[in-house]
Amino acid sequence: MTARRSTRWPGSRSAVVPHGGGADGGRSVGDQAELADRNGAAAEHLAAGRPDRAVIALERLLDDCRRLLGGEHPATLVVEGNLAVAFVMGGRDEAGVHLMIDNLHRRERVFGDEHARTLAARDAVATTHRLAGRLSEALWLYSRVAPQRNRVLGPSHPDTLTTRLGLGLTFAAAGDTAMARDVVMAALQDCDRSGVEHAEMLRSCLADLHRADTARSPATGTADVPRQRRASAAVVDGGVTRPRGRVGPSTIDIGSRAGRGDAP
C-alpha cells in the first residue's frame, strides 16, 4: 500500500478510439497517448502536493476526454475520478464529493456493481466521508464494499485490506475500538497467511488502537485515534492515493488495480 506505481490508463496507449457521439460518431480521434501523458502529468502534480495545478490540468483534460471519447469511456471515468481526488486534496471537499459520487454512479452503469473499478470508487467515497467525519455514511459504504472486495479480489488483496482498515478506523473514530480491533486483527491474520507486504501497517494501526483504548479522552470518554492527514498520501495509478504515514488506508482510491475482467 505504500509503494508508488506507474500511472494507469485504460487500454493500449496506441489504440485508436472511436468518437463518443455526434454526427461524426464513427470517426477516430487518433492515438490516446497525448491524453494519457496529460493524465500522468496531472498525477505528478498531485504526487508533489500541487492539487491546484492538478485541478487546472484535469478540468481541461476532462473536457477533452468527454468531447473526444464520450462521457462514459473508461479513460474519461479515470480522469473524472482523478479530478475529484484533486478537488478533495485541494480542500474543495464539497465539489470533490459530488463529482466522486457522480463518477461512482457512472462506473456502476459502465462496469457493473462489483467491478474492481466500481469498488475502487465506492471505497473512495467511503474514505472521503470518514476523513470528513461523516462516520455513519462511511460505515455504511465500507460495510458494503468490504465484502464485495473480499469476493471479487480476495480477503488479502491490497485493495481489500485497504477497505478493511478503513472500516476499522471508522469504528474507532466512532468510539467502538473493540470492533475496530476485531476488524483490523482479522485483516492482519489474512495478511499473515497470504504473505502480502501489509502486515507492518496493520500491526502499527492495531498498536495505535490498543493505546487509544487505554488513553481515553477525559472530555468525551471516547478513544483518541490518530487521524490520517491528506498530505501523507502518495499518488499512484493516475489519481489513486496510497498512504505514506503509519496509520490509515488510502485517502482516495479511484482507478484501482485491475480486477477480474479488467483491462491490463
Q: Mean pLDDT over residues 106-133, rounded?
A: 94
Q: What is the pLDDT of residues 64-93, one digit of tens each?
A: 999 999 999 999 999 999 999 999 999 999
- At 214 the pLDDT is 73
What distances in angstroms separate CA 256 from CA 148, 207, 216, 259, one per listed residue?
A: 14, 28, 36, 8
- At 170 the pLDDT is 94
- At 21 the pLDDT is 40
- At 212 the pLDDT is 76
Closest-CA residue to 83 (of 68, 96, 74): 96
Q: Mean pLDDT over residues 7-34, rounded?
A: 46
Q: What is the pLDDT of residues 215-244, one digit of tens each?
A: 665 544 544 444 443 322 322 233 333 333
Task: Band the pLDDT of 27: cuts 50, 70, 90.
Answer: very low
Closest-CA residue to 129 (of 116, 143, 115): 143
CATH number for 16-243 (one of 1.25.40.10, 2.20.25.90, 3.90.850.10, 1.10.1510.10): it is 1.25.40.10
Q: What is the pTM of this model?
A: 0.72
Total Cβ atoms within 10 A of residue 200: 11
Cell triple for residue 164? 478493511
**What is the four-CA torsion angle of 87, 73, 262, 129, rounded to 10 degrees?**
30
* Extents of the domains making up the chain: 16-243
Give residue 170's identity as a one-letter amino acid code: T
- At 80 the pLDDT is 95
pLDDT surpassing 90 at residue 19: no
pLDDT surpassing 50 at residue 175: yes
